[in-house]
Amino acid sequence: MASKDQAIGALIFIVCVVIGIGYLIVIVAPGAVSPILGVASQSLQFWAVAIVVLIAFLAIMFIGAWIGWTMATTPPPKPIEELETEEEKVEEKVEEKAEAKVEEKTEPVQEPKTEEKAEPEPPVESKPDRPKRGRRRKTNP
């Protein structure tokens, strides 16, 4: 069984082929179709060409208008000089951070020497761990 998309594709194909064959007949042999439509053969040929040319012209004008609208409403890009200076600033910041990290690792931390002995802090009573809401503690069997 064909999918919905395949059925629509087949329908579009058939419609396009029928219209193409009909258009070809109107252009090449307008005398065969003009009595059925009740229109003069030269008039039929003229309108067949005029309608196609009109559609093509309008399609090209629509594409041009769309390009113009897009260009008019899109903000201009930044100049290359600004982008280069921004990149340089970012690189400098990265280098400064890397240098700061290296300096922190290489410099030993010196505690101030005091001759006075500080009193030891009293032990802090610890509270039993409480499980967070919604979580269960693992129990050992």
Task: Reply yes or no on whether the pLDDT at 78 is more than 80.
Answer: no
Residue 36 CA to residue 63 CA, distance in Å, equals 37
Residue 8's pLDDT is what? 95
Query: Domain-by-domain residue ranges, the chain?
Result: 11-75
Whole-number average pLDDT of the chain:
82
Mean pLDDT over 56-81 rounds to: 91
Q: Which residue has the higher pLDDT, 52 or 124?
A: 52
Task: Reply yes or no on whether the pLDDT at 95 is more than 80.
Answer: yes
Residue 57's pLDDT is what? 97
* 120-130 pLDDT, tens digit each: 676 666 666 66
Question: Of the ranges 15-19, 31-35, 98-102, which one carries the lowest mean pLDDT score?
Answer: 98-102
| Distances from the Cα of 8 to the Cα of 15, 118, 130, angstroms | 11, 88, 63
Residue 17's pLDDT is what? 97
Residue 23's pLDDT is what? 92
